Amino acid sequence: MLRVALRGIGAHPVRFLLTMLAVALGIAFVAGTFALRTMLSSTFTDIVETSMLGDAYVRGADRAPGESTVGGETSDARNQVPIGLADVVAGVDGVTAALPDLSGPVVLVGADGTAVQSTQAPSFAVVLYPQSRGVDVVAGRLPEQPGEVALEHSTLEASGLAVGDTTTVVLGGALQSVQVVGDVDAVSSAAGATLVYLDPATGRALFAPDGMVSTIAVYGERDLSEAALTDRLAPVVRDAAPADAPAQAVTGDDARAESRAAVEAILGFVLTFLLVFAAISLFVGAFIIANTFAMSVRQRTREFALLRAVGASPTQVLVSILLQAAVIGVIGAALGIAGGLALVEVLRRVLESMGMTLTGSIPLNASTVAISLGVGTLVSLVAAFVPARRAAVVPPVEAMRDESTAPERPLRLRAVVGAVLALLGAAGVLAAVWRPEADGAPQLLGYGAAGVVLGMLLLAPVIARASIGTLATPFVAWIKPVGRLARGNVVRNPRRTANTAGALMIGMALVGAAAVIAASTTASTQAIVAREATTDYILSTPASGTIPTDALTAVRALPDVAAADAFYAGQALVRGPEGDESGVLLAGIDPATIGRSLQVEEVEGSLRDTLEDDEVAVQRGAAKDEGWQVGDRITLTGGSGSRELRVGAIIDSSAIPSPLVVSPEVFDSLVPAVERAIPTVFVTAAPGADVDGLRAQLTEAVRPYLVVSVLDTEQFVAGLADQVNQVLVILYALLGLSIVIAVLGIVNTLALSVIERTREIGLLRAVGLGRLQLAGTVTIESILTAVFGTVVGLAVGVALASAMPTVFADDGLTDLAVPWVSLLGMVLLAIVVGVLAALWPGLRAARLPVLDAVSYE
C-alpha cells in the first residue's frame, strides 16, 4: 500500500503541494521557536559564564525584596551584605582578591550630544577593578579616579567618542563631566547593553552609599578548588556578618547555575508564549489538511472502489490514505524545520542590526527535529483520519457508479453539538461578566470563550448557506450570471466552505479580539488619566526608568511651578497577618499629592490621612487577593529596614501602578536611595502662570538630562498607547502566519474544486460562458468564502473581547472601545485576500480546454 500511496501523491502533485506547504509553515513556527529559545539560552548562558568569573561569591543568606509577588512573580533576591566583608574575605588564606559588585543605571552622552542607547537594551555603569578578570584594555587605561570612565568597545563605537574625549553622564541622578580614558573589550557579551566602567571609589560612593552591596566576587589561587575556597570562606563570612545582614559563601559554579536557572525561567515563558501561536498555526493548518483529504477522497472514490474490487480491504484503503498523510507530514515538517532555521537567522540579523548580538550558530538539536517531525506527522494523520475512514467504508459497487457517491452526512448532529457548546460557552462568558468579582471569573471567561469558538466552528456549515446567500446578494444583483453561479457553487457544499472559512475564522477572531483589547486599553488609560490626574504636565522617562533627582530639583525651582509631585517606586517584602512573606512593588507618594495632582477612588478609609499618619494604603485588588482589611497590620521590609504598619485605607487607582502606597518618609526608611526610582512626576502650574510658557521652561530645565520627556496628558496617553501598539504589532505578526495558512487553504480548496468540477466547467464553457466570466466566478467564490470567515471570526472575537473590560476592570481595563474603522479595514482586506487567493485557481479554470473538460472522468 506504500507504493499505492506514493503513486497517489505523484499522480496529483498540485493536490498535495499546498497541503504540504501548510504543514511546513506551522512546523516552521515550532522549529523556529525551539531554535530561538536555544539560541537565547546560549546567549544569556555565555553572558553569565563570562561575566561571573569569581571562584566564589559572598552574598546574603536571607531572602530580600525582589520582583513583586503580590500581583507578580516570585523573586530569589537576597539581602545585601556589608561592603566591609570584602576586606575581611581578602585576608583569608588562598584569596587573591575580593571585589564588591557595584553597578547601577547611567545615561551616557555621545559625540552628537544625545543619549547613547541601543534599542531597548539597558545602560549600566559598572565598577572595574585592576584585579577584574575577563577584560582586555584595547586602548588607554582603566579609570582610576573620579571624573574618569572607560567604555566597552561596542559602546565606544556606538557613542562616536574616542579615548581622551570629554563627555557628560547622568550618574546618581546628577550630571557629571567625565573623560574617556579607556577602550575595554569585555569577554562577556554585552547583548546590546551600553556599558560604562567606573573607578572603585566613585562606584562605592554612588552605588553603596550605605555600605551595603549585593554580592562580593572572590578570586582564589589557581591551585585551589572552588569547593575548598568556599569551605575556608564559610566560617569567616558567617562570623563577620552582622545579625541583621547575614551572609553566606557559595561556589562560583553554584552562583552561575542559579543565574542560569533564573534566565531559563524567563525563557520558558517566552517559549510557551511562542508555542501558543505555533499551536494556533497548526490548528489552522489541520483544517487545510482535512479539507484537502476530504476533497481528494471525494474525487478518487472510484479509484478506491477499484482497489476494493481487486481485493484491497477497507483497512488497506485506510492505511494507503494515512500513508499519504504521513508522507506529506514528514516532508512538510522537514521543510518547516529548514524554514524555521531560516526565520531565526533573519531574526538574528535584524537584532544584530539593532545592536543586540546573539552568540553562537543557529542550533539544530535532535529534540527539535524529533518534536517537529512528530508534530507535523501527527497533525497530518489526525486531520486525514476521518476522510480516510469514510473512503474505506464506501461500498465498491456504489462507489463505481458514474455519479460519485459518498453522500454528505446530515448536519443535524453537528448543529446540536455546536449549539450546545456555543450556548455553554456564552453562558460561561455571561456568568463571568455578571460576577466579575468572583475568584474564578477570568478562568470562566477563558473556558467560555473556548466553548464559543469551538461551537461556532461546528455551527459554521449550518449558518453558511444563509450567511453566504446574504453576502452574495450584491454579486447576484450586479454581476449576472456570474454572481448566481458563484453563490450556488459556494453553498452547494456548506461543510467544505465552512471548513475552508474556518481556518480564516480562527485567525480573524484572534485578530479582532486583539484589536478590541488594544483599543480598550488605550481608552481605559485615557479615561484613567482624565479621571485621576489633575495636573498640567507629566514628566516621564521610559528610556532609563527613573527621573534624575537633580532634574526634579531643577523643575521644583522654576517660579511658575506650584508643585512637582514625584512618584517613588521600589521593592520591599511584605508579611501579612497570616505570616506569609512575598515581594511587592512599593509606591511612595506625598500626602499633598492627593487632591492636588491626583484624584483616587477611596473604597474604604482616607488615602491622604493614611499617608499623613504613616500608615499603608492597599489597592483593592491586592486587598482582595491577600484578604487584608482596614485595621490589619502588615510588616514591610526593605534594604534600609523594617516597619510594621497599619492598613489605613483601601483604594482603587489605576494611575498608581503599585499594590501598596506609603508616605515618602516611610518609603525612605525602607528603600535605600540607590534602589529607588522616580518613574513619573506630576507638574502643576502656579496660579496665573502661562501654562504654554511653563512647558518651554520645563523642557529647558530637563534638557541636560536627555532622557526626561515633558508631556501633557494627551501625549502621556499617546505614549502609553504606542507601547500597546508595539505589542499589538508583534501579535499581528504572530497571528499573520495563521492567516497566511488560511489563505493557502482557500487557494487549495478552490484549486481542488476546479479539478472536481472539470466536467461542469467544460459544459458551462460549451454553452457560452467566457473565460473571464469563469475566472470571475472562481474569484467571487473566493471572496465570499474569505468574507464569510472574516465576518464570523471578527464577530466572535469582538464579542468575546467586549466582555474583558468588565472582568478585568480591577486590572485597569475599565473602558470598552471597538475600533470599527480597523475592523472595516480587515473586512476589506478579506476581499483583497479573496481576489489574490483566486488568481491561480481562476486562471487554471479559464485555461481548461473545453472538449477535454467535457470528457473528463
Q: What is the pLDDT of residue 357?
A: 63
Comparing 24-28, 127-131, 599-603, 707-711, the range with the smallest average pLDDT is 24-28
> 65 pLDDT band (50/70/90 cuts)?
low
Comparing 275-284, 372-381, 612-621, 622-631, the range with the smallest average pLDDT is 275-284
Q: What is the pLDDT of residue 5?
A: 61
* pLDDT tens by residue, 150-162: 998 888 888 899 9
Q: What is the mean pLDDT of residues 723-750?
A: 74
Q: What is the pLDDT of residue 616?
A: 94
> 15 pLDDT band (50/70/90 cuts)?
low
333 φ/ψ angles, rounded to the nearest 5 degrees: -65, -40
* pLDDT tens by residue, 423-462: 999 999 999 999 887 878 888 998 999 999 999 988 988 8
DSSP category for residue 587: E
Measured between alpha carbons, how far is 492 from 499 in angstroms, rounded to an integer?
13
Contacts of 719 (CB under 8 A, 6+ apart): 540, 542, 709, 711
Contacts of 700 (CB under 8 A, 6+ apart): none
* pLDDT tens by residue, 221-261: 988 999 999 999 999 998 888 887 888 999 989 988 888 88
Helices (H), 394-481: 396-399, 412-434, 441-471, 473-478
Q: What is the pLDDT of residue 75?
A: 43
Measured between alpha carbons, how far is 55 from 221 in angstroms, rounded to an integer?
9
* Residue 268: pLDDT over 60: yes
Q: What is the pLDDT of residue 76?
A: 55
Say if CB 622 and CB 672 are below 8 A apart: no
* Residue 405: pLDDT over 60: no
249: β partners:
58
Measured between alpha carbons, how far is 209 from 203 in angstroms, rounded to an integer?
9
Measured between alpha carbons, how far is 333 from 377 in angstroms, rounded to an integer?
7
Q: What is the pLDDT of residue 73?
A: 38
180: β partners:
149
The DSSP result for 270-284, as a single string, is HHHHHHHHHHHHHHH
Comparing 339-348, 474-483, 656-665, 819-828, the range with the smallest average pLDDT is 339-348
Q: What is the pLDDT of residue 397?
A: 66
* Residue 359: pLDDT over 70: no
* pLDDT tens by residue, 457-490: 889 888 888 888 888 999 988 888 888 888 888 8
Say if CB 782 and CB 748 are below 8 A apart: no
Quote the crossing angle between the two packed helices 301-309 and 314-353, to the nearest 10°.
Answer: 140
Q: What is the pLDDT of residue 42?
A: 76
Comparing 414-418, 578-582, 602-606, 776-780, the range with the smallest average pLDDT is 578-582
Q: What is the pLDDT of residue 72?
A: 38
Distances (CA, A) of 470 to 142, 463, 466, 787: 76, 11, 6, 11
* Residue 26: pLDDT over 90: no
On the 0-12 / 13-18 / 19+ scale of CB atoms within 10 A, 439 is exposed
On the 0-12 / 13-18 / 19+ scale of CB atoms within 10 A, 772 is exposed
**What is the percent of the chain where pLDDT is above 70?**
90
* Mean pLDDT rounded to a whole number for the chain: 82
Measured between alpha carbons, how far is 669 from 690 in angstroms, rounded to an integer?
38
Measured between alpha carbons, how far is 296 from 391 in angstroms, rounded to an integer?
10
* pLDDT tens by residue, 326-348: 888 899 889 888 888 887 888 77
CA angle 248, 251, 252 (to 5 degrees): 120
> 802 pLDDT band (50/70/90 cuts)?
very high
Q: What is the mean pLDDT of residues 684-693?
A: 89
* Residue 54: pLDDT over 80: yes
> 177 pLDDT band (50/70/90 cuts)?
very high
**Cell matching residue 374:** 512528530
pTM above 0.95, yes or no: no
| 526 vs 711, higher pLDDT | 711
Helices (H), 354-409: 366-393, 396-399
> 190 pLDDT band (50/70/90 cuts)?
low
Q: What is the mean pLDDT of residues 359-376?
A: 78
